């Protein structure tokens, strides 16, 4: 990974122990990027909208990479994914589903809704380290990001598709 390139990662995970293990795996993989955790689907959407406690974009920047669990309270991860992909400013944001579900229906629907990848949570810590290292290698080191490396803002999306700016 280029040490000059930093990305923001949003981990959407309701299980505290899984979130801690993922943070540990990210550190072990030398991912020094900014990692934020949303503990529910509702909290993830609030983070992405920049509302409530997430209103300060200096403190809570928009992510370039989202790691999304499926089985969560308040809102299932597939509903979160559907919401993310319905927002023009997040259509190019990389979303990796990281779930314990191996159900064919979950996998098919995740891809249909726009997931970039679907990974089953590894059963051991060592396998988690390997999975996170692979994610880092592909998505953070090899993947080519847009020039500004940030999701488009709503005004930029409207401009890109030829729609007039929203009235103030």
Q: Give ∠ CA 19-25-30 in degrees, rounded to 5.
A: 130
Say what the pLDDT of residue 148 is. 53
What average pLDDT does the structure give for the chain?
85
Say what the pLDDT of residue 39 is. 96
In this predicted structure, the answer to whether residue 23 has a pLDDT above a threshold of 60 is: yes
In this predicted structure, the answer to whether residue 30 has a pLDDT above a threshold of 60 is: yes
Helix (H) or strand (E) holding 81: helix 77-86
Contact between residue 89 and residue 151 where contact means Cβ atoms under 8 Å apart = yes
Instruction: Tell me, rounded to whole angstroms, the distance of Cα 108 from its chain centroid.
Output: 19
Q: CB neighbours of 97 closer than 8 A, spacing ≥ 6?
A: 68, 69, 70, 77, 81, 110, 115, 117, 118, 119
Contact between residue 71 and residue 12 where contact means Cβ atoms under 8 Å apart = no
Confidence band, pLDDT 50/70/90 cuts, at residue 158: very low
Say what the pLDDT of residue 153 is. 44
Per-residue pLDDT reduced to its tens digit, 78-108:
999 999 999 999 988 999 999 999 999 999 9
Fold (CATH) for 8-160: Rossmann fold (3.40.50)
Per-residue pLDDT reduced to its tens digit, 100-151:
999 999 999 999 999 999 999 999 999 999 999 999 889 988 888 776 544 4
In this predicted structure, the answer to whether residue 10 has a pLDDT above a threshold of 90 is: yes
Among 2-11, 90-99, 155-164, name the one with the lowest average pLDDT. Answer: 155-164
């Amino acid at each position: 990974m280029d040490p000059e390139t930093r990305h923001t990662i949003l981990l959407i995970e309701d299980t505290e122990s899984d979130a801690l293990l993922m943070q540990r795996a990210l550190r072990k993989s030398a991912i020094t990027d900014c990692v934020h955790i949303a503990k529910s689907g509702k909290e993830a959407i609030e983070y992405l909208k920049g509302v409530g406690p997430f209103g300060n974009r200096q403190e809570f920047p928009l992510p370039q990479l989202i790691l999304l669990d499926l089985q969560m309270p308040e809102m299932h991860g597939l509903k979160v994914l559907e919401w993310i992909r319905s927002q023009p400013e997040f259509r190019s944001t990389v979303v990796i589903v990281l779930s314990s579900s191996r159900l064919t229906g979950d996998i098919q629907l995740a891809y249909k809704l726009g997931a970039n990848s679907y990974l089953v949570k590894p059963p051991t810590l060592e396998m988690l380290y390997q999975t996170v290292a692979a994610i880092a290698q592909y998505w953070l080191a090899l993947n080519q990001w847009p020039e500004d490396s940030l999701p488009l803002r709503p005004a930029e999306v409207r401009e890109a598709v030829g729609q007039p700016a929203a009235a103030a």
